[in-house]
Structure 1
Amino acid sequence: MRVKKVLNNNVLIAAHPEYNEVILTGKGIGFGKRTGEDISVESAEKFFVLRDQKEQQQYKQLLSYVDESFIGLMNECIERIEKRFEVRLNEHIHVGLTDHLYFAVKRIQQGLDIKNPFLTETELAYPKEYTVALEIVQWLNEKLGVSVPVGEVGFITLHIHSALTNRELSEVNKHTQLISRMVDVIEESLKISVDRADVNYLRLIRHFHASIERVQKDENRPENQEALAKVLQAEYPVCYNLAWKLIKIMQQNLHKPVPDAEAVYLTLHLQRLAKQ
């Protein structure tokens, strides 16, 4: 490979014969290097490819305001995540997670609080990612001598899930916000305040996430629940009508049809919540 641009002492861009431009990272790898100079991949602690031109520009901008020691820490952080999942993460995590955590740590050091209204929903939706995010927060606390609030675990979880599934973070966030909106509609319609620790709420959130995943992947199987639907409509009309209201919200947000059978499952979940 050949050096194309030295970004700082620990990061440089090199021309790779197969991947075109690659980012090489390693302690002192950029020190004294000049454009056009040969460099071997073995001299780098890690290298990754930012195939998207926009992401390349974002990473270069990132290095203009994030100090080198934090970049090194984040590379180690991402490597830890990859080892836990035994998989290569989508490279956009180098931009997204580094940028997010840099400013999060700055806010913590300034004494500003970080709140996450979707923490419970995120943990239920992505339990494996949440467990690893919790480990990362504990590791960061030790490395930086800070106390990262638990709400930050949820944000890191979403970044990890986004990189594991090659989905845009905005799409992952959209699902979490959709569920939060539907919970607001449930509380307003049933005139209740849902206990976020209640087992029936936890079951409903898991069901919402599973349903959204199936709809997104077009994995819904045709089910004939007409007989049960008629019974539920007669027995629990308020919950049944609310179930259909939620289905319409899902369809509007996902731009895909939601199977009629969903009304049955949602009515049962809603009835359990209403009884509380």
Structure 2
Amino acid sequence: MKNNLQVKKVLNNNVVIVSDSLNKEIIVIGKGIGFAKKQGDFIFDDQVDKLFVLKDENEQKQYRTLLTYIDEKTAELINDIILHIGNRFENKLNEHIHVALTDHIAFAVKRYQQGMDIKNPFLTETQTLYPKEFTVAEEVIEVVNRKLNIHLPEGEIGFVALHIHSGITNKSVTDIKKHSELINTLINMTQQSLGLSIDTKSINYLRLVRHLRHAIERISMGEKMEDQERLAKVLKEEYPVCYNLAWKLIKVMQNALNKPVPHAEAVYLTMHLQRLSRYDNE
């Protein structure tokens, strides 16, 4: 993309519809990119610090619709935020983050103004699973609160973290939320079955949650694992409570993901549960 982007329509100071060298319509987003531009002008990539390009027709349509009910100040703020997120991660952000995060933050601001507070039941799990995304999400919410002079609830940090993770991994926010909800269910089952109140700051809790996350990803992708029959037999005899609980958790994962779970997962899960049971009960 050099000097062949020709302006077709200026949506606002920061968003312009252009045609590329193949005469295909795309949306270009950049700070001040549309200022003083008119139809027929060309856009050069050295005019702005950073260009975001929406090529997918469906993404373009959704983004244009969003701009019709979001004021330009808020839209510009969110574009600055996405630029900040991109700078904090080496990964190239999926273009869908412009639609998803713009929609989410704009709706969150509207909910706040209407006095509505939506609780986030997966805040702790989200912070544990995606620590860097969570840190950047904290920065995002701090900027939104300061710039718009509001105070979004803490739960919004978790929601924004999921959108960031989706943007850098190309995973859908829906799937990420489902997995977080599943982990929350598994943790609650673990607490009830072992009769303990888990310290969410403990290293064993962090290890268990991260293990569950990787297990869910492995199961979802259908990865094979080498059987651990001898070790399974030992664990079943030595730690029957944790071994049986491991299989209960596996059945829940199997039903939720609609995928078969390798028997070896029970071995690794039992060891995490035993460690948690031993140290969090002391």
> TM-score, with normalisation over the residues of structure 2?
0.85
Amino acid at match of 1:176: S
2:79 aligned residue (52, 75, 78): 75
1:33 matched residue in structure 2 = 38
Q: Distance in 1 between the 2:113 and 2:181 partners?
A: 28
Deviation at 1:162, TM superposition (A): 0.5
- Mapping 1:1-276, distance limit 5 Å: 1-17=5-21, 20-25=24-29, 26-27=31-32, 29=34, 33-34=38-39, 37-42=40-45, 43=47, 46-218=50-222, 220-222=224-226, 224-275=227-278, 276=281
SS in 2 for 1:49: strand
Q: Distance in 1 between the 2:38 and 2:59 partners?
A: 24
SS in 2 for 1:65: coil
Task: Verify the 8 A CA contact 2:10 2:34 in the aligned structure 1.
Answer: no
Gaps of 5+ in 1: none
Cα deviation, 1:62-96, whole Å, max 9, x if unaligned, reads: 01101111111111111111111133211100000
Amino acid at match of 2:246: A
Task: Verify the 8 A CA contact 1:7 1:30 in the aligned structure 2.
Answer: no
Deviation at 1:17, TM superposition (A): 1.5
Task: Verify the 8 A CA contact 1:19 1:49 in the aligned structure 2.
Answer: no
Deviation at 1:40, TM superposition (A): 1.6
Gaps of 5+ in 2: none
Amino acid at match of 2:126: T
Task: Verify the 8 A CA contact 2:7 2:43 in the aligned structure 1.
Answer: no
Deviation at 1:191, TM superposition (A): 4.8
Deviation at 1:120, TM superposition (A): 1.1
Q: Distance in 1 between the 2:117 and 2:23 partners?
A: 42
Q: Distance in 1 between the 2:121 and 2:158 partners?
A: 9
> TM-score, with normalisation over the residues of structure 1?
0.87
Task: Verify the 8 A CA contact 1:89 1:163 in the aligned structure 2.
Answer: yes
SS in 2 for 1:29: coil
Task: Verify the 8 A CA contact 2:235 2:270 in the aligned structure 1.
Answer: yes
Q: Distance in 2 between the 1:23 and 1:274 partners?
A: 54
SS in 2 for 1:257: coil
Amino acid at match of 1:174: K
Q: Distance in 2 between the 1:150 and 1:135 partners?
A: 12
Deviation at 1:248, TM superposition (A): 2.2
Q: Distance in 2 between the 1:238 and 1:196 partners?
A: 22
Cα deviation, 1:92-139, whole Å, max 9, x if unaligned, reads: 000000110111122223333342111111111111111111122222
SS in 1 for 2:41: coil
SS in 1 for 2:68: helix
Deviation at 1:143, TM superposition (A): 1.7
Cα deviation, 1:147-196, whole Å, max 9, x if unaligned, reads: 23222111111111111011111121121111112223334444554443
Amino acid at match of 2:247: W
Q: Distance in 1 between the 2:113 and 2:22 partners?
A: 42
Amino acid at match of 1:29: G
Q: Which stretches of structure 1, 4 residues or longer, exceed 6 Å deviation after superposition? A: none
Cα deviation, 1:224-276, whole Å, max 9, x if unaligned, reads: 43222222222332321221121122233334433222212222332344452
Amino acid at match of 1:254: L
SS in 2 for 1:249: helix
Mean Cα deviation higher: 181-190 or 227-236? 181-190
Deviation at 1:44, TM superposition (A): 5.2
